[in-house]
Amino acid sequence: MAVHLLIAPGGSRNDPLAELIGVFGVGAKRAAIALAENIEIRTRHENGGTHELDITKQWIESDDCYLPAYEGPDISERTREINLPYLQKPFSEADVDDLRVHIGNTYSWFIRQGCTIRLNGDPVSDFPAH
């Protein structure tokens, strides 16, 4: 499993050493700072073990972009959990509703294919794009 793809939106399995035009970082540190002080990402591919990444305030403030992954507590097979325990600012119910619609629009294809996405424990529906 390619653990580095966990936090790489639009990430690729391309050889990172290949001389390609347009290979840039994904701004994981910038995204983490905007969302939460700590981010916990757990993933389990098929029936393999659970892997975890923790984006912490110490990592965000460091110059080092190395982010270790380690074995975490078991979660359901074929599952990814992202927890934001210390948000930079509180979300209102309206913010959560807007986020639910945004996630539904963004990931509608996956939802239609049978993927279940939960926000605060509740399933996100396939929302038609506006």
Q: Is residue 11 part of a domain?
A: no
Contacts of 35 (CB under 8 A, 6+ apart): 84, 87, 88
Average pLDDT over residues 16-34: 53
Same domain, 81 and 114: no
Q: Which parts of the chain fold into alpha helices (H)? A: 28-35, 57-61, 93-106, 108-112
Task: Report residue 51's pLDDT band, with 50, 70 and 90 as the boundaries.
Answer: very high
The mean predicted confidence, pLDDT, of the chain is: 77
Q: Is residue 14 part of a domain?
A: no
Same domain, 1 and 58: yes
Task: Report residue 63's pLDDT band, with 50, 70 and 90 as the boundaries.
Answer: confident
Same domain, 66 and 49: yes
Chain-centre distance for alpha carbon 72: 16
Distance CA 52, CA 47 (A): 15
Average pLDDT over residues 13-19: 52
Q: Is residue 128 part of a domain?
A: yes
